[in-house]
Structure 1
Amino acid sequence: MREFDYVIVGAGSAGCVLANRLSEDPATRVLLVEAGGWDSNPLIRVPKGFARLMDGTRTAWQFPVEPFHPSARPEVWPRGRTLGGSSSINGMVYNRGQRADYDELERLGNPGWGWDTIGPIFTEMERSGLAVSAVSATESDGLCEEMIAAGVNLGWSHERDLNAHDGERIGYTMATIRHGRRVSASAAFLHPVRRRANLTVATRTVALRILFDKDAAVGVRLGRNGRTVDVAAAREVVVACGSIATPRLLQVSGIGPAGVLRAAGVDVLLDRPAVGARMREHRVFKLQFRLAEDLGYNRRLNTPARQAMAGLKYLLTRRGPIAAPVYDVLAFVKTRPDLDRPDAQLLMAPFSAGPQVPGEQLPLEREPGVNCLGHVLRPDSEGSLRITSPDPEAPPRIVPNYLATEYDRGVGVAAFRRMRELFATDPIAKRITVETLPGPAVQDDADIIDAALEHGYCGYHAIGTCAMGPHDDDVVDPELRVRGVANLRVVDASVLPIMVSGNLNGPVMAMAWHASDLIQG
């Protein structure tokens, strides 16, 4: 059995940072395991390439979720299946979160996770190869500038760096893009060091289960090309598979709710009811409008021929809509003026889309349009995830339980009304003829919630399925060690007990940076 000091399972946003930092000492042997392949697909480098990557099975896991609304289309949660994980296929939006989020982690009994510790890590990461920029929409026909101007007319500050403060603000989206090319976690942290003699990267290799000797993790059973091999971890096994695959791996390894494990045919090592529970996820409200003139991205990207022309321009200049993140403009807003910080996030773009079909690229409409997405920054509705089979690659049963609490419904409706308020404000209001989705007839709170469940999206930001905390029933302790066993940690978004305000790619990388310090003592 080959032995390493650390076996890291998952080469996503957290795993790439961990591999970089844990292998800095040439005497430390590190194995990084990734179920997907090398991030060599050329679309990974193209910002708008995410539209194809997220719906493909070669570069993404496709996790179906349980039906949650009578009229909602079937929903699938994609997650990255390649080096860089979801950072290689996502929309590249980069937020740090608010100071109060991290201070709340500390208040909940997790010392060392406050902003004074985590805040400087973002600056250090951004100086260590993680490119972050605000990409101006140079071909939006002025629509993005008019959205920003409308926000300014509502009292929101226009910021070039949307991470500059935690007040109400609007501006071009901060994104992990440099010179028109995506900068994933693997590009920033793994590829620069992957030739270190003490770092081994195993791609197309599935972690089948964690291996234990009594109450200590001692290695991982791996599968590749139909063969299995066991690898030993002299110090620790670190699971960094994300909020879906991490609890799944723990459960198939015997750590989870005893009843769930037995029903799935898995022997129980530790009865841990919280593994797979306490899941929180954003539900995105969608608003779409028809434009009076033929402006925006639809006319540039709504046919294969036009996409090819835009692609050629991108190859020659690294500019144009293909060089931009998923949404061009972002805002953080308050749903009530008396709040001390924003509680909603809005994303805007100069295009409009047709209905999403799972497994297919999001189609753009032929007619010109603009759209806006919004969500509750810190939802408190809790869903769950549980295995139904001992097969480590079988999809788990995911129950999202969107908008289940009074808080989430109230803030969600208020955020939707703020979205409408923005597009009723000049100068962008002058461009609009009619609201096409969900439509002006949707006015009551209940109808707005129904529209979000029927036409909205998941945020791709699930957390909490292996949440940290100071109590015996928390899955991991404040140093991310799995309670009840030795030499096993979890380092990914699943350990967050509360949602960080905004998109999670940046916070997960910062978490892994901090975790590497905890691991090395």
Structure 2
Amino acid sequence: MRDRVEEFDYVVVGAGAAGCVLAHRLSADPATRVLLVEAGGWDRSPFVRIPKAFSRLMDDRRTAWHYPAEAAPGRREVWQRGRLVGGSSSVNGMVYGRGDRLDWDGLERLGNPGWGWDTMLPIFRRLEDHPLGASPTRGAGGPLRLSSATGTDALCEDVIAAGQALGWRRSDDLNATEDERIGYVTATIRDGRRVSAADAFLHPVRDRPNLTVAVGTAVRRILVRGGRAVGVRAGSGGRTVDYAASAEVVLAAGAIASPQLLQVSGIGPADTLRRAGVDVLLDRPRVGLGLREHRSVPAQFRLIGDGGYNHMLGSLLGQGLATLRYALTRRGPLSLPVHDVGAHIRSTPQVDHPDAQLLIAPFSAAPPRPGRALELETEAGMMGLCTVTRPDSEGSLAISSADPGTPPRIVANYFATEHDRRVLVDAFRRMRELFATAPIAGRIAAETVPGPAVRGDREIVEAALALGYCGYHAVGTCGMGPSDEHVVDARLRVRGVDALRVVDASVLPVLVSGYLNAPVMALAWRAADLILAD
């Protein structure tokens, strides 16, 4: 039963990285009524604030969506996304990366004017409060407070020195240049506390009388009349409410939920919709196609002697002591991002630009157990993750039911192209070369994952599928582009439906060479400019 209708100018669906920025920008005019709708709850859990508590949040179905996905034929995995205010920025690993000129200028060359580096860099600079201060490539004084993961375990200095021995430049700001480089990562952390999109953009404006945030409210469909989006239908606490939008409906629910919501609303591939029992409003074959995702491939090592975080965080006593130190000082391992050191590398000398990235941490993970958060080994170890930064393999997402509560079918299709397999194999071998280089080589007893027996190209690709992780960086399922086949245009307007936009990672037709939190916040800031100009 429908209980009521509430009216706003803008209805923004999803309070993640994009939604928080949009709420901040669109509600700046006191005469504009903005509704931000979030299916999850408020970000009140104390674990949201503690950086190293991210794994508890990711594995808790109260704070993260758990989507079943097909990594490869017959190989299943789970993709987690934030299910609370702040979205995935409230549960992620907090590594801050923007992509570079090659990424954003490439997006513009695909036929998307206004998305090049000369447009996006000033937006990043406006958002940032970087601890190194302002420069031509970074910002200071912005709402997004950042820090550098320095002062960690001595193993990190050894691995950085090994990278330097390989010719990689040591950098205090991995986002500042585009060469081969290694250094401590920049993180969305300040004073030992996570800085989510909600912290940076939403909470500071929550008292605006023209901004309404509806939590615990799941949008079930977009309401379209006469070819125009006029609002959304949502459910909360067993009640149904229609929210009317006099200006626009903006989907900011992410690369999984936004295409799913379009499809259950009748906008998508006609055959897919009919099989799911959905009436076809608009046949848009590309909704849900073009999915691209990073695959993070691990290597783990047993250390000679002690070192790293395993002895501290791998036992209840050690965890208690680390928690006490954090509570008293906001310092120690619990105050740091998921990984301490990052590198951008070329998979081979013949490549003229870094095409892979590494993340390195002075701990090693125990074999995963179903339903359990990340656990560490008890013996001393460390790990690295290798990622192909610009994969061109494409997967898909499709609904199987008209019920928006039924997870869509996600097919990742990792390493489907020769390019992705070649870059993976070469970059993985370079990561091994890093750990075999002094001084870090002198601290390592043996490789434990995937193990020295994994040498051939096919074996490395198979290990990547069997042991690797979803990068939590899905894009492309509502990709932007210049032709009618693309879901949205360069102003992020959904083709075929007036007053409807998508503003999240799903509109990016290609992956950037980094992480998605920063690009999505900058994308949303740029989108707000477009919305307010129309």
- The TM-score by the shorter chain falls in which range? over 0.9
Q: Which residue of 2 aligns with 1:107?
A: 109
Q: Which residue of 1 aligns with 2:55?
A: 51
8 Å contact from structure 2 (residues 71, 465) kept in 1: no
1:163-182 maps to which residues of 2 (within 5 A)? Answer: 163-182=175-194
Q: Which residue of 2 aligns with 1:24?
A: 28
Greater mean alpha carbon deviation, residues 416-425 or residues 58-67: 58-67
Q: How much does 1:165 deviate?
A: 0.6
* Residue 159 (structure 2) pairs with residue 132 (structure 1): no
- Which of 372, 389, 405 matches 2:401? 389
Deviation digits for residues 241-274 of structure 1 (CA, Å, limit 9, x no counterpart): 0000010000001101111111111111011111
* Residue 157 (structure 2) pairs with residue 145 (structure 1): yes
* Residue 405 (structure 2) pairs with residue 401 (structure 1): no
8 Å contact from structure 2 (residues 19, 36) kept in 1: yes
Q: How much does 1:366 deviate?
A: 1.0
1:431-470 maps to which residues of 2 (within 5 A)? Answer: 431-470=443-482
Query: Is the partner of 2:126 in helix, strand or coil?
Result: helix
Q: How much does 1:340 deviate?
A: 2.4
Deviation digits for residues 350-379 of structure 1 (CA, Å, limit 9, x no counterpart): 001122234321111111101000110000
Query: AA paired with 1:125?
Result: L
**For the residues of structure 2 that align with 1:259 and 1:442, how far apart are their CA atoms?**
42
* Residue 319 (structure 2) pairs with residue 310 (structure 1): no
Greater mean alpha carbon deviation, residues 359-368 or residues 326-335: 359-368
Q: Which residue of 1 aligns with 2:357?
A: 345
**For the residues of structure 1 that align with 2:351 and 2:177, how far apart are their CA atoms?**
15
- Which of 221, 234, 244 matches 1:232? 244
8 Å contact from structure 1 (residues 252, 261) kept in 2: yes
- Which of 85, 88, 92 matches 1:86? 88
Give the length in aligned residue pairs. 517
* Residue 517 (structure 2) pairs with residue 513 (structure 1): no
Query: Is the partner of 2:509 in helix, strand or coil?
Result: coil
Q: Which residue of 2 aligns with 1:156?
A: 168
1:31-430 maps to which residues of 2 (within 5 A)? Answer: 31-66=35-70, 68=72, 72=75, 74-126=76-128, 127-138=141-152, 140=153, 142-430=154-442
Query: Is the partner of 1:346 in helix, strand or coil?
Result: strand
**For the residues of structure 1 that align with 2:156 and 2:14, how far apart are their CA atoms?**
37
**For the residues of structure 2 that align with 1:41 and 1:283, how far apart are their CA atoms?**
29
**For the residues of structure 2 that align with 1:303 and 1:225, how far apart are their CA atoms?**
40
Q: Which residue of 1 aligns with 2:16?
A: 12
**For the residues of structure 1 that align with 2:345 and 2:99, how far apart are their CA atoms?**
13
Cα 1:467–1:67 change in 2 (3 A) is closer
**For the residues of structure 2 that align with 1:362 and 1:207, how far apart are their CA atoms?**
31
TM-score by length of 1: 0.98
Query: Is the partner of 2:289 in helix, strand or coil?
Result: coil
Deviation digits for residues 263-313 of structure 1 (CA, Å, limit 9, x no counterpart): 111111011111000100011111011001121100000012211211111
Percent identity for Structure 1 against Structure 2: 64
8 Å contact from structure 1 (residues 76, 358) kept in 2: no
Q: How much does 1:101 deviate?
A: 0.7
Query: AA paired with 2:164?
Result: V
**For the residues of structure 2 that align with 1:271 and 1:39, how far apart are their CA atoms?**
37
8 Å contact from structure 2 (residues 504, 520) kept in 1: yes
Cα 1:406–1:301 change in 2 (3 A) is same
8 Å contact from structure 1 (residues 137, 324) kept in 2: no
Greater mean alpha carbon deviation, residues 423-432 or residues 129-138: 129-138
8 Å contact from structure 1 (residues 137, 321) kept in 2: no
8 Å contact from structure 1 (residues 281, 460) kept in 2: yes
Q: How much does 1:510 deviate?
A: 0.2
**For the residues of structure 1 that align with 2:88 and 2:433, how far apart are their CA atoms?**
33
**For the residues of structure 2 that align with 1:117 and 1:472, how far apart are their CA atoms?**
25
Query: Is the partner of 1:336 in helix, strand or coil?
Result: coil
Q: How much does 1:157 deviate?
A: 0.8
Gaps of 5+ in 1: none
**For the residues of structure 1 that align with 2:196 and 2:171, how far apart are their CA atoms?**
24
Q: How much does 1:137 deviate?
A: 4.0
Deviation digits for residues 170-206 of structure 1 (CA, Å, limit 9, x no counterpart): 1111100000000000000000001101000000000
**For the residues of structure 2 that align with 1:358 and 1:224, how far apart are their CA atoms?**
30
